[in-house]
């Protein structure tokens, strides 16, 4: 029993509206196989629209006959949905003179008991997309490209957030969300932003180059899933880096280092640039001394920042991407700005000063809700650490992962006690966010005393690491541990995040067209 709703522009006559209903009636009966005696509902809204029907932002030309149809229905195979779309377009063209380019259908799958337009997974079908989307909806590997415009809606449904009369970031997003059927198996949606276009990746998700979590297996898995995988370089540990570099299975993996440690082994940066030229990320302190070398190698430079001054300096030295990290993030950073207000501040500042530079959001992002929110803040994508830290490929002890699964976001703290006990002298302003434990509780606020016995305490920490005693050894994670409830494969996690973000974005797509 489908529920249908029409949105049309002002000026339709009663005869035209009746023709719409008749066309929908015939399409429902023919393709969803609803018996005529069954009850189903078709409603319409006839009101002013803010749709820019001349140009959707995806290269698809609309006219003043644009029709948007929302359907709430039970689960149907993709072939049945596209058959409905084709039948509806044919009926509308025959009886109302409306071309397929002016028809968009939003299908939301709901349970038998739930007949609303706001729940379920939305899927849009719209005509004449072949060649119009370009990079915005690239054909997934292994699937065949449609033969031409007339076949664009067959075997492939494409969902697009088209431009309405709203300003950035929605206009900037222009996300093309595509869902494809191949061999009767639906593949994951994609969200297209400047990041995905610039780097030729499928999803606007970047793996933080965490050490030791982001080894060769995790970086490769994220890249294979369509994100940007970055191999952790950390404190320039050459032995560890070369071992994990050898485990990288793809050529589209980049790397990242803690900037202030590079002088301890300058040659390792050159090795990373040669082996993993996809991107180089520099975090924590001035990237300037190494920016020229990275740019000369033709490698995109990603710089993580914690203040607007940091962002401006990163742009001045040649950053291609700026990561705006909030204090919610795990690991090191500044306890100064939180992600929600910091990201749009950086977006606005760089839009005026260096509009070609991409901005990623980082800190407190663990699922599709965080990705969708970041895009709405104006970011081109997200850099994620803690959520990938809790995946099967991450080089983290199972006992530490289990500890995180049982924790909430209230159980983290910013501290320097582990830096102090390990003898790592971080630049001023930097502390690390970790999970609270007995060691932190014992020494937080007693750093001067810890400095006097750091050798003895270091031995305790190292022994604890060997025995998986995480009341003494550190667990370096952010506030999003409260959103971590399983330990999935990294590829499955990427798919889940994108699907959830797509659902969240599509939930409000009708509002953009209304």
Model confidence pLDDT, tens digit, residues 306-353 = 999 999 999 999 999 999 999 999 999 999 999 999 999 999 999 999
What is the spatial distance between Cα 80 and Cα 31, in angstroms, rounded to a whole number?
Answer: 6
pLDDT of 163: 27
Strand partners, 358: 321
The CATH architecture assigned to 3-187 reads 2-Layer Sandwich (3.30)
Do 167 and 182 form a contact (C-beta atoms < 8 A)? no
Give the Cα-Cα-Cα angle 504, 508, 510 (nearest 5 degrees). 140
Do 180 and 156 form a contact (C-beta atoms < 8 A)? yes
What does each C-alpha distance from 341 to 134, 164, 374, 377, 507 come to in angstroms? 33, 25, 11, 9, 24
The CATH architecture assigned to 199-395+489-501 reads Alpha-Beta Barrel (3.20)
What is the spatial distance between Cα 445 and Cα 367, in angstroms, rounded to a whole number?
Answer: 34
Q: Assign 303 to helix, strand or coil.
A: strand
Unique residue bearing structure tokens 């969803």: 32
pLDDT of 81: 78
Strand partners, 8: 46, 67
What is the spatial distance between Cα 199 and Cα 403, in angstroms, rounded to a whole number?
Answer: 35
Residues of the chain scoring pLDDT < 70: 1-12, 34-64, 70, 72-75, 108-189, 508-514
pLDDT of 110: 55
The answer to whether the Cα torsion of 490, 491, 494, 495 is positive or negative is negative
Going from N- to C-terminal start, the domains of the chain cover 3-187, 199-395+489-501, 398-483
Taking the CA atoms of the chain, what radius of gyration do you get in angstroms? 26
Do 430 and 420 form a contact (C-beta atoms < 8 A)? no
What is the spatial distance between Cα 287 and Cα 300, in angstroms, rounded to a whole number?
Answer: 13
pLDDT of 52: 39
Which tokens in the block code for residue 508? 């409000």
Angle between helices 368-376 and 490-507 (to 10 degrees): 50
What is the spatial distance between Cα 36 and Cα 26, in angstroms, rounded to a whole number?
Answer: 10
**Cβ-Cβ contacts under 8 Å for 416 (sequence gap 6 or more):** 426, 431, 432, 447
Do 70 and 117 form a contact (C-beta atoms < 8 A)? yes
What single DSSP character describes residue 149?
A: G
pLDDT of 164: 28
Strand partners, 4: 42, 71
User: Strands 176-182 and 156-160, how do they pair?
Assistant: antiparallel
Which of 478, 386, 465, 481 has the alpha carbon at shortest distance from 421? 465
Helix (H), strand (E), coil (C) string for 241-295: HHHHHCCCCCCCEEEEEEHHHHHHCHHHHHHHHHHCCCCEEEECCCCHHHHHHHH
Which of 133, 157, 168 has the alpha carbon at shortest distance from 57? 133
What single DSSP character describes residue 30?
A: I
**Cβ-Cβ contacts under 8 Å for 452 (sequence gap 6 or more):** none
Task: Catalogue the active-site residues.
Answer: 2
What is the spatial distance between Cα 208 and Cα 389, in angstroms, rounded to a whole number?
Answer: 9
Q: Assign 383 to helix, strand or coil.
A: strand
Around 489, how many Cα atoms within 13 Å sit in the side-chain half-sphere?
Answer: 8
């Amino acid at each position: 029993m489908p529920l249908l709703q029409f949105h049309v522009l002002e000026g339709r006559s009663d005869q035209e509206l009746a023709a719409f209903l008749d066309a929908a009636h015939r399409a429902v009966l023919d393709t969803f196989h609803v018996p005529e005696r069954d009850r189903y509902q078709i409603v319409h809204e006839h009101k002013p629209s803010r749709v820019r029907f001349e140009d959707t932002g995806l290269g698809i030309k609309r006219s003043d006959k644009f029709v948007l149809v929302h359907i709430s229905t039970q689960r149907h195979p993709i072939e049945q949905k596209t058959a409905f779309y084709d039948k509806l377009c044919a009926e509308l063209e025959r009886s109302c003179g409306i071309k397929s380019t002016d028809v968009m259908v939003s299908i939301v799958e709901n349970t038998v008991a739930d007949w609303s337009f706001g729940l379920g997974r939305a899927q849009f079908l719209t005509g004449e997309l072949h060649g119009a989307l370009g990079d915005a909806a690239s054909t997934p590997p292994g699937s065949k490209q449609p033969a031409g415009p007339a076949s664009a809606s067959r075997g492939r449904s494409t969902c697009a957030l088209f431009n309405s009369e709203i300003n950035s970031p929605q206009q900037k997003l222009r996300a093309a969300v595509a869902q494809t059927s191949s061999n009767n198996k639906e593949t994951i949606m994609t969200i297209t932003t400047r990041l995905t276009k610039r780097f030729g990746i499928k999803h606007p998700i970047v793996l933080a180059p965490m050490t030791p979590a982001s080894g060769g297996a995790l970086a490769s898995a994220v890249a294979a899933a369509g994100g940007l995988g970055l191999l952790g370089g950390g404190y320039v540990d050459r032995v560890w880096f070369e071992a994990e570099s050898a485990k990288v299975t793809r050529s589209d993996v980049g790397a990242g280092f803690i900037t202030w440690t590079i002088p301890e082994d300058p040659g390792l940066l050159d090795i990373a640039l040669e082996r993993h030229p996809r991107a180089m990320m520099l975090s924590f302190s001035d990237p300037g001394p190494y920016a020229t070398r990275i740019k000369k190698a033709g490698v995109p430079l990603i710089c993580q920042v914690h203040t607007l001054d940091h962002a401006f300096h990163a742009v001045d030295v040649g950053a291609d991407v700026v990561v705006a990290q909030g204090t919610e993030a795990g690991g090191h950073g500044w306890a100064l700005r939180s992600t929600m207000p910091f990201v749009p501040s950086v977006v606005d500042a760089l839009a005026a000063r260096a509009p070609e530079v991409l901005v990623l959001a980082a800190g407190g992002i663990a699922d599709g809700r965080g990705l969708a929110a970041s895009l709405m803040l104006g970011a081109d994508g997200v850099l994620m650490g803690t959520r990938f830290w809790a995946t099967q490929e991450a080089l983290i002890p199972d006992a530490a992962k289990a500890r995180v699964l049982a924790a909430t976001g209230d159980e983290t703290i910013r501290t320097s006690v582990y830096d102090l006990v390990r003898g790592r002298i971080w630049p001023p302003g930097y502390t690390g966010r970790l999970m609270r434990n007995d060691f932190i509780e014992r020494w937080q606020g007693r750093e001067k005393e810890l400095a006097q016995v750091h050798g003895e305490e270091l031995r305790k920490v190292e022994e604890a690491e060997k025995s998986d005693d995480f009341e003494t050894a550190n667990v370096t994670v952010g506030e999003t541990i409260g959103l971590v409830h399983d330990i999935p494969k990294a590829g499955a996690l990427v798919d889940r995040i994108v699907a959830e973000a797509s659902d969240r974005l599509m939930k409000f797509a009708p509002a953009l067209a209304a």
